[in-house]
Structures are given as structure tokens and as C-alpha cells.
Amino acid sequence: MAPHEVLRRAACFRVDDLEKVWGHSVRKTQIEKLSTEELIEKIRTLSAERWPAIHAGRPKEANRMFDLLVAIERELRARGIEAQRQLLKLLDDPDPGTRCWVAGSVLEFAPSEGERVLTEIAKHVDGLVGFSAERTLQEWKAGTFKPL
């Protein structure tokens, strides 16, 4: 396969081009058919599995999980604030990766809860999850954080 073909295929899975991922009719249809509770559970499992994939050097797998997480969050946003508020119960999840993802997600409608969890993770969790929480907080406080 030619190098430019590899790059073209990889571009379909990047956050920079989410409309291609979101516009994929099968995936979008599958996500739309799930109940809010099922979407919340998908966020819990995908966000917990994403960090081990990153640490294990499986970026394609981690990127696909990221793209699905973003698509699910967009679906929750489309369903309204009550659907989004269901994310709050994941702020106490035992997995720091899940808590970090969800804390960043709730900043736009529950900023104090999101900040509290991100601060806790940044102080007590080492590695990429702690770093991610710290950077998310910095961007949020600087006014440059953009929800997905």
C-alpha cells in the first residue's frame, strides 16, 4: 500500500475529521439505537480500556475508542442535558481513566464536579491519566478547553 494511501485511511479515524466517523451510517445508527444507560456503560468500558491500549502501544485501538467515545458524547448531547447528567454517576468509578474522561466531559454543565475530580486525579494518579487531568484543568482554567 502506498504511503499516501495509509495516511488517507488513518485520517478517517482522527478527531480532526470526526464528521467522517460520525457520518458513518452503520455506527451512527447503532449508537442512536442504544438507550442512554447503554451509552453510559459504553463510555465506562471504553474509557477504562483506552488507557491500557495506549500504554501497551496499540494506538489504532486507542484512537478507535477515542472516536467512539466522542461519537457517544455527541449522541448524549443531542439527547439533552438529562442524558448528559447521567455521566455524573461515573465520576466515582474506580477506574481513574474513566473518571478523567467523564470529568472533562461534564465541565460544560457541571464544572465544580468536573474540576474536583480532575484535581484529585492530577494530584494522586501518576502517568498519562494524571497528566491528562492536569492539562485538561489548565486549559479549562485558561478558557481554552473545548468540549468534544
Q: Residue 27: its pLDDT value, please? A: 67
Residue 21 clears pLDDT 50, i.e. is over it: no
Of the pLDDT bands very low, low, confident and very high (cuts 50, 70, 90), residue 140 is very high
Higher-scoring residue by pLDDT: 7, 60: 60
Residue 85 clears pLDDT 50, i.e. is over it: yes
Q: Does the predicted TM-score (pTM) go above 0.75?
A: yes
Average pLDDT of every residue of the chain: 85
Residues with Cβ < 8 Å from 131, sequence gap 6 or more?
A: none
